[in-house]
Structure formats: structure tokens, C-alpha cells
Chain A
């Protein structure tokens, strides 16, 4: 990715930060020419970001230990990438079953939704205990609001 813009922040995994962070992402994207007139694309990317942060807060840190989350946002001419790093409990994405949409449940949609609205989902744990989630969205090439 030829980066046009790169932002890196570290925050504690506090649910009270979810809205300010989502808002930051939304406002940022809204100012970039690639997202002009693409409200649905912005909505989907905001949703993926929201689900990723919520998952880290709720599952990696189990809503208790407010450990660090490093968030990197890279926006290039053709794509956007989120990179989340946490030091909490890891998981095996391949063990997460897709939801049965004919039997709606009260939870278990987060990872599936991230995969649905983004083009790439990568997750791995490193030897030092760091978990890394990368979400990539390539921008549609045609005009109009497509997600």
C-alpha cells in the first residue's frame, strides 16, 4: 500500500472509548476524497472498526483488564487498512463458526461481520503475546456509493 495517510494511537481497552474512536474514524474518512459520496462504504468501515475494538475489549481483555490497544490506520489511494494490536487472550479465528442466520442469536456476529464488510481479515498471535488483527478494504473503482 502506498500510504497517503498513516495514524497510530494507543488507548486502553475501555468501552467508554468506543464512541470517540468510531467518531474519529468516521470523521477522518469523511474528509478523504476516496470516500466522498460513499456513505455506505463509510458505514461499513465504521462497523468493522467498532466490532474489532469491541471484540478486543470484551474478549481479549474480558471486559476487565483494561490493557493497551494499539490502532494503526493506513489509507492509500486504493485501500484502507486497520491494524489492531493487543496483549490479551488470543483466539483461533478458524475455530469461530459462522453464525446460523436462520437461528438469530444474541451474540457471535462480530467476527463474521468484519469479514462480510471488509475485503481481508488477518489475525495472528506473536511469540511475545501480542495479538495482531489486520482488516483491509479495497475501494470500489466505479462511481457511486458502493460498499
Chain B
């Protein structure tokens, strides 16, 4: 998992899997980011082939933490498996999901 900041937007790039092994790390990282108000966060799933229910739970927890501190969170580059899982769990209605990073980043300035 990699965390970087670009033009005032924090980008977390997850690894090949977002599963029960790494979900606690994502939640902790976002919890720290949410200590600062109005954090703009993109979770970049470009390298993430596989997500399980623990990964979904970490994303839900992350969104809640960011919203609570008046920030916003977007998801970029979901894999086919992630898209299928988000639709099955209806999380595609909860998250703002973009097929590429540019669109996710631009969405902060257009909103």
C-alpha cells in the first residue's frame, strides 16, 4: 500500500489484494488521514486484482471516517472482480467510482 499526496489530494494505492490481511492497515491509515478535516482521498485500485468482504468493509469504514471529518473519498480503477463485487453488495451505489485516476481527481474540483 502506497500513500502519496498530489495537488492537495491524498492517493492511496492498494496492492494486488485488498483482503483480510491488509484491511486493518487500510482502515488505520485512513483513520489517521481523517484526523485532518476535509481530506480529499482517492483509493486507487489499479493494481488490485482481488477484493474480499474484509476489503469492502475497510473501504466502507474509510468512507465513513473521511465523511465524518467533512472530507470526501473516491475510488478509481476497479478491476472486473472489484466491479462485480461492488455491484453484488450494492456498494457501487455507496462509493463514487471512476474508471481512471484523472476522472477521480477531477471530480473533486468539479464538485
Note whether A and B form a binding pair: yes
| Contact status A105-B60, CB under 8 Å | yes
Contact A40 B80 (CB under 8 A): yes
Per the 8 Å Cβ criterion, residues 37-53 of A in contact with B are: 39-40, 43-44, 46-47, 50-51
Quick check: is B17 within 8 A (CB to CB) of the other chain?
A: yes
Chain A interface SS verdict (over half): helix
Give the distance in Å from the alpha carbon of A104 to the alpha carbon of B91 in the complex: 7
Q: Determine, out of A1-9, A109-117, A124-132, the stretch whose residues face the partner at the interface.
A: A109-117
Within B18-34, the residues touching A (CB, 8 Å) are 19-21
Given A104-B60, A107-B53, A113–B20 Cβ distance below 8 Å? Answer: no
State which size class the interface on B falls in: 20 to 34
State how many residues of chain A have any CB contact under 8 Å with chain B: 29
Instruction: Determine the main DSSP class of B at the interface with A.
Output: helix
**Beta-carbon contacts under 8 Å, B35-94 to A:** 50, 52-54, 56-58, 60-61, 64, 80-81, 84-85, 88-91, 94
Name the residue in A15, A22, A104, A116 with the highest tally of chain B Cβ atoms < 10 Å from its Cβ: A104
Inter-subunit contact A101/B89 (CB<8 Å): yes
Chain B interfacial positions (CB closer than 8 Å to A): 17, 19-21, 50, 52-54, 56-58, 60-61, 64, 80-81, 84-85, 88-91, 94
Chain A residues with CB under 8 Å of chain B are 15-16, 18-19, 22, 39-40, 43-44, 46-47, 50-51, 54, 57-58, 99, 101-102, 104-107, 109-110, 113, 116-117, 147
Interface contacts beyond A40-B80, A113-B52: sample of 7 additional A-B pairs, CB < 8 Å, sorted by A: A40-B81, A47-B85, A50-B20, A54-B20, A57-B20, A104-B89, A113-B89
- Residue contacts A-B, CB under 8 angstroms, 25 given: A15-B21, A18-B20, A19-B19, A19-B21, A22-B19, A39-B80, A40-B80, A40-B81, A43-B81, A46-B50, A47-B81, A50-B20, A50-B50, A51-B53, A57-B20, A99-B89, A104-B91, A106-B58, A106-B60, A107-B57, A109-B53, A109-B57, A110-B53, A113-B52, A113-B88
